[in-house]
């Protein structure tokens, strides 16, 4: 099919495009930068120049591409601004959805996150509500943006929402040369009781490729091993050459519960790196 991909030059997008091409799809990548045309072409796709925050440009690009499906892999994380990322989630999604509707496209794949669920004592499945009641001000910005983004995307009848776990591997924050490795070396990460669900970046990209053929709905894309910081941080620190972290006291934040991946596995997606315990050691330790 013809696929219009917003965010095709990002960490996940650069991995998704070749997967889509190998699966036989024709891919058009939205990019603000014309100088990325050669890089996009090298991946096997064509480029459409436009800013996701420019509604008219997005509509023009989608209309010209005549896609069968629109895929949203947009993030704004390079500057570390939660506000910028929230604005892109809300406004960029609105523009993509409006353009898809104008082009008569109902199939949509959306990148979301698996750590916006309400508090609980066990890993959250996809039927668990998002956290509309307990988030503090800093977390509220992220959760509200996720809720708005998902609601907008689900105006289209064929939307698949991929709630990714915390990405690790090359080019992510949890890379050997990433921001979290630097924080671990500075002993600024707490080995606490908060539970995180991770997913290897290549596994998340493979899920996005597979999701093109999935039925509409919400799907957690996480590995098989939600774990507290007291377990995963020592493994991560050892893999990136950081000092062993000291145990942190205090209770778990009730929302930091991890996520369940049974639905994604029922759809045929299985993480090649089933647990961060293996992935962080083998992928990050060899970097």
Residue 179's contacts (CB-CB under 8 Å, 6 or more residues apart) are 80, 173
Alpha-carbon dihedral angle through residues 276, 281, 285, 287, given to the nearest 10 degrees? -40
Q: Give the tokens for residue 110.
A: 């959306």
Residue 28's contacts (CB-CB under 8 Å, 6 or more residues apart) are 2, 3, 4, 5, 45, 46, 47, 48, 61, 65, 67
Q: Which helix (H) or strand (E) holds 4?
A: strand 2-6
CB-CB contact of 191 with 234 (8 Å): yes
Helices (H), the chain: 13-22, 37-43, 55-65, 82-87, 93-102, 137-153, 179-185, 201-211, 229-239, 262-266, 276-279
pLDDT at 136: 81
CA pair distance 207, 245, nearest whole angstrom: 32
Q: Give the tokens for residue 162.
A: 């991929």
pLDDT at 78: 63
pLDDT tens digit sequence for 30-72 = 998 888 888 899 889 999 999 999 999 999 999 999 999 999 9
pLDDT tens digit sequence for 112-157 = 999 999 999 999 999 999 999 877 877 898 999 999 999 999 999 9
Q: Give the tokens for residue 31.
A: 């990019």
pLDDT tens digit sequence for 235-272 = 999 999 999 999 898 999 999 999 999 999 999 999 99
CA pair distance 200, 143, nearest whole angstrom: 23
CB-CB contact of 98 with 152 (8 Å): no
Q: What is the pTM of this model?
A: 0.96
Tell which wins on pLDDT, 285 or 13: 13
């Amino acid at each position: 099919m013809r696929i219009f991909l917003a965010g095709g030059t990002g960490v996940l997008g650069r991995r998704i495009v070749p997967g889509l091409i190998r699966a036989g799809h024709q891919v058009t990548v939205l990019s603000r930068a014309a100088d990325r045309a050669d890089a996009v072409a090298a991946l096997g796709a064509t480029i459409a120049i436009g800013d996701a925050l420019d509604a008219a440009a997005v509509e023009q690009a989608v209309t010209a591409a005549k896609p069968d499906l629109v895929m949203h892999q947009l993030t704004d994380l390079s500057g570390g601004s939660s506000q910028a990322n929230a604005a892109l989630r809300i406004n960029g999604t609105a523009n993509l959805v409006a353009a898809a509707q104008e082009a008569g496209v109902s199939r949509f794949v959306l990148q979301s996150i698996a750590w916006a669920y309400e508090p609980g004592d066990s890993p959250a499945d996809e039927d668990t509500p998002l956290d509309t009641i307990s988030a503090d001000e800093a977390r509220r910005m992220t959760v509200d943006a996720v809720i708005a983004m998902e609601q907008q995307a689900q105006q289209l009848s064929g939307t698949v929402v991929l709630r990714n776990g915390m990405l690790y591997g090359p080019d992510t924050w949890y890379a050997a040369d990433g921001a979290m490795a630097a924080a671990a070396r500075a002993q600024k990460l707490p080995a606490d009781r908060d539970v995180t669900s991770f997913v290897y970046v290549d596994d998340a990209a493979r899920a996005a490729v597979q999701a093109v053929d999935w039925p509409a709905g919400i799907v957690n894309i996480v590995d098989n091993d939600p774990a507290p910081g007291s377990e995963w941080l020592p493994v991560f620190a050892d893999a990136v050459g950081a000092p062993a972290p000291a145990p942190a006291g205090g209770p778990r934040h009730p929302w930091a519960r991890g996520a369940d991946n049974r639905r994604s596995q029922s759809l045929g997606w299985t993480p090649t790196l089933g647990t961060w315990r293996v992935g962080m050691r083998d992928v990050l330790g060899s970097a």
